Structure 1
Amino acid sequence: MTATASTAPRNTAALRERARGALLGLAVGDALGAPAENLRPSEIRARWGRITGYVADRPAGTDDTEYAIFSGLLLARHGAGLTPAHVEAAWHEWIADRDEGPFRGAGFSERGTLENLRRGLAAPISAQHRHAWSDGLAMRAAPHGVFAAGRPAEAARLAAVDGSVSHDGEGLYGGQAVAAGVAAAMAGAPVVAVVAAALAVVPDDSWTARSLRRAVTAAHRGERAVRSAVVVGGYPWTDLAPEAVALAFGAYAAAGGDFADAVLTAVNMGRDADTTAAVAGALAGATRGAAAIPAAWAAAIGPARGTCLPAMAGHHVLDLADLLTPPAPDPAETRR
C-alpha cells in the first residue's frame, strides 16, 4: 500500500530517515539562509551572485533552529498530551526565568511573548502583542509534523497548542500549515498532497491560505514569480507568517520536492530567508530523507550553540529527530 497524507509509514527505519531529513533540513536551510535574511534578490546578487552553498565562515542555525529544538523537546517530554500550561511553563523554565544569555536574534513575536510572560501574563493573553502574526511559530513547527507523521490534523493541533503562548490568528495558521505539510511529507505524500494537507488545516479565506495558493500556482514559473505573487511590497518587516510560509511552500513546489533546489530557491528570494529556507528544508527533507541533503551542508551542522536560547546549547537536531520517532524494534524481540 502506498503511504498517503493520512497514514504514517510502517517502516521504522524509513520514518527515522524522514525525521532526520526534516529536522536536519530545517537546520541546514536556516544556516544557508541566515546571511541573506532581510535582503532583496538584487542585494543578494550584488554580494554573492547566486547563493549556491554556505557563504558564512562558520555556518550555524539561528533562533529558528534553537526554537525548533525547544518545541521538539517539549513534544518529547509531553507527547500528544501537550497543553498550553506545559508550553507556558517551558517558556519560563528555559527562557523567561533565566538571567543568562543575550536572546540574540530573537524575533519580535518572541520578544513580545517574553515581555508578557515576565509581566505575569498567562496564555493566551501572553500572545497579545503587536507581532502575533509573525512566522515565529512556523519556524518551530516542523517537530510537530515529525511527531505526528502521517496525521496532518494532529500535527496542526499540536502546533496550535504550542503557539497559543506566543501567536494568534495568521501566526497560528502559518505554524499549523507547516506542521501539517511536514506530517504529510513524513508519510511519503507527493508534493501536491503536502500542499493540500497544509491548506486543509487553515481557514480557506485566511491570508495564509490565499498566499499559499498564489505561491504554489506560480511555482512552475520559478522563484521570481513566487516572490511576486506573495511578497508585500514596501512593508519593512519580513517576518509576516502568510508571506514567509507561502514563499517556503512555493520554493518547495517549484523544486518538485528536491532538497537543494528547494532551499536555494528560498534563500535567493531573500526576505526572511533563514525562516523560509528552514521551512522549505524541513518539507523537502521530510519528503526525500536525510540522504538527500548534500553531505557538505549536513556536516556543517553541529549541536546548537545557544546563541539565542542558552538552554538549547548542546542539543543536536538529529538527536531530536530520534527522540520524536519510534525506536527500531529489538531484533531479539521480533524473533520471539
Structure 2
Amino acid sequence: MSAAATGPTTSIWGRTEQQDFRSRVRGSLLGGAIGDALGAPATPLTLDAIRTRYGPEGITAPTAGKADSEPGAHPIAPPTPPARITAATQLTLFTVDGLIRAQVRRDTGAWHPPTDVHRAYLRWAATQRDWGPDERRKDNGWLAREEWLYSRRDPARACLLGLADDVMGTLDRPKNPDARDPAAVTRSGPFGLLVGWEPQLVLQLAVECAAHTHGDPAAYLSAGAHAVIVHGLARGESLDAAVQRTLALLAQRPGHQPVTDALQHALGAVRQGMPSPGLVASLGEGHLAQEALAIAVYCALVGEDIRHGLLLAVNHDGPSGATGTLCGTLLGALHGETALPPGWLAELEGRSTLLELADDFAMEMTQGPALHGPAVNSPGWLARYPRA
C-alpha cells in the first residue's frame, strides 16, 4: 500500500504525552545535527589520520570544519561555529518542512506526502544554487527564507542530480538507480516521528521519498529502516525492539537482504565484547547506506550515553558525518532532548532553527486541527506553511 493512500491514525494527546513527544522530536533533530557536526570534519579521514590530527583518542568534541569555499556558498557567510552542520542536516530540516506542509495541504483534499516532501527537497536544492532567498516566492514558507541555509555543505552528488529538475523520482522510476551512498538515509529520521502512523506506512513513505534521489534498493530500504527504528524509539520502544520490528518489516520487501544482513551484523557485534573501533570496522566503512546504518545502530546500542555512542560513531575510517548523524538521530529519539551534551548543543550551528522547526512539527502532529482546517483559519500558521 502506498503511504499516500492513507493518513495517520487518530490519537489523543495528554499534556504529559505532548511533552514527551516534543522532547523526542527535539532530541532526534538536535542529536542528528550534533552527530553531523561532530563527524563532518573527519569524513574524508581514516581512523589513523583522525588520531594524527586530533590526538590518540581521535575526535572528542565538535571542531570547526572547512570554510565555505565551494560554489553556491553564501557570499557573506557568518563566522564558522565549532559545530558546523552539513547538507545532511539541511535536508533533514526540509524533510520536516515537507511533512508539515503535507499535513496542512490535507485540508485541501490533496493528500500525497511524497509530493510535498519532494517539493521541500526542491526548495533545498534552490539553497545550493541561489545566493539567497527569493522574496517573490511567497509560497516558500519560513524555512526557505533562512539565509544561513544558502550555503553548499558537501551535498552528495546523487542529491544534486536527483533534484536538478522538477521530475519526481518514484519506486517505479527512481532517480540515480545506482546511488548507494547514505545521503538518503541521513535525511530520513523525521519520517519516524510520525508516531500516529503504522510502522509499515512509515517505511513506505521513507522509501518513496528516498527514491527521489537514490534508486538502489539497499539505499532506499536503508532509509526506510532508519525511519522505522526512529518510529519505534519515538513511541517509547527500546532500541533492540525497534530494530527487531524493522527486520520483520524489511523481510517483506524485495531487495532487503543487504540491509537485513547489515542490521543483523550490528546486533551480532554487540555480543562480541567491549565496544571498540575494531568492531565498528567489522561492519564496513559506511560508504554504503546499509553499512552506515549498521554502524549507527551498533554505536547507539553499546554507547554508555549519547556522548560515548557518538564518539564511537565518528571515529572510524568511513564517512563520519553520516554515521554520526544517524547515531545522533537514534539516541536523541531514544533519550530525548535533555540527554544531549549541553556544551555540544550550545555550539551547534542553526540550533534556534532546529528548535523552532522541531516545535512546529510537534505542534502540528499534536494540535493540527486547532491550527488549520475547514472551520479554522490561522493566517500565521498558513504563512509559515502555505498550502500552495
Secondary structure of 2:314's match?
Answer: helix
Letter aligned with residue 231 of structure 2: A
1:33-91 per-residue CA deviation (whole Å, 9 max, x = no partner) reads: 11111322111111112222112263211111100001110001103844433333334
Q: Residues 285-296 of structure 1: matches in 2 within 5 Å?
A: 285-296=332-343
Query: What is aligned with 2:258?
Result: 207
User: Would the aligned equivalents of 1:20 and 1:289 in 2 still touch at CA under 8 Å?
Assistant: yes
After superposition, the CA RMSD in angstroms is: 2.7
Q: Residues 126-137 of structure 1: matches in 2 within 5 Å?
A: 127-129=174-176, 131-137=178-184
Q: Residues 100-139 of structure 1: matches in 2 within 5 Å?
A: 100-101=130-131, 103-115=152-164, 117=165, 121-124=167-170, 127-129=174-176, 131-139=178-186
What's the % identity of the aligned pairs?
A: 26
Report the CA distance between 1:97 and its aligned residue.
9.4
User: Would the aligned equivalents of 1:178 and 1:245 in 2 still touch at CA under 8 Å?
Assistant: yes
* Structure 2 residue corresponding to 1:300, chosen from 347, 354, 357: 347
User: Would the aligned equivalents of 2:83 and 2:348 in 1 still touch at CA under 8 Å?
Assistant: yes
User: Would the aligned equivalents of 1:215 and 1:247 in 2 still touch at CA under 8 Å?
Assistant: yes
Give the distance between the partners of 2:334 and 2:12, measured in 1 at CA: 13
Give the distance between the partners of 2:347 and 2:184, measured in 1 at CA: 25
* Structure 2 residue corresponding to 1:230, chosen from 283, 294, 299: 283
Which of structures 1 and 2 has the bigger CA Rg?
A: 2
Q: Residues 134-145 of structure 1: matches in 2 within 5 Å?
A: 134-145=181-192
* Structure 2 residue corresponding to 1:78, chosen from 102, 115, 118: 102
Give the distance between the partners of 1:103 and 1:217, measured in 2 at CA: 38
The answer to whether structure 1 residue 89 and structure 2 residue 116 are counterparts is no
C-alpha spacing 1:227/1:8, structure 2 compared with 1 (3 Å): farther
Secondary structure of 1:78's match?
Answer: helix
User: Would the aligned equivalents of 1:36 and 1:44 in 2 still touch at CA under 8 Å?
Assistant: yes
The answer to whether structure 1 residue 52 and structure 2 residue 98 are counterparts is no
Report the CA distance between 1:98 and its aligned residue.
7.6
Give the distance between the partners of 2:212 and 2:23, measured in 1 at CA: 31
The answer to whether structure 1 residue 181 and structure 2 residue 229 are counterparts is yes
Query: What is aligned with 1:261?
Result: 308
User: Would the aligned equivalents of 2:182 and 2:219 in 1 still touch at CA under 8 Å?
Assistant: yes
C-alpha spacing 1:192/1:149, structure 2 compared with 1 (3 Å): farther
C-alpha spacing 1:213/1:296, structure 2 compared with 1 (3 Å): same
Secondary structure of 1:189's match?
Answer: coil
Report the CA distance between 1:104 and its aligned residue.
3.7
Letter aligned with residue 61 of structure 1: I
Q: How many residues align?
A: 304
User: Would the aligned equivalents of 2:181 and 2:287 in 1 still touch at CA under 8 Å?
Assistant: yes
Query: What is aligned with 2:353?
Result: 316
Report the CA distance between 1:267 and its aligned residue.
0.8
TM-score by length of 2: 0.71
Name stretches of at least 5 consecutive residues in structure 1 with no aligned partner.
1-6, 233-237, 305-314, 330-336
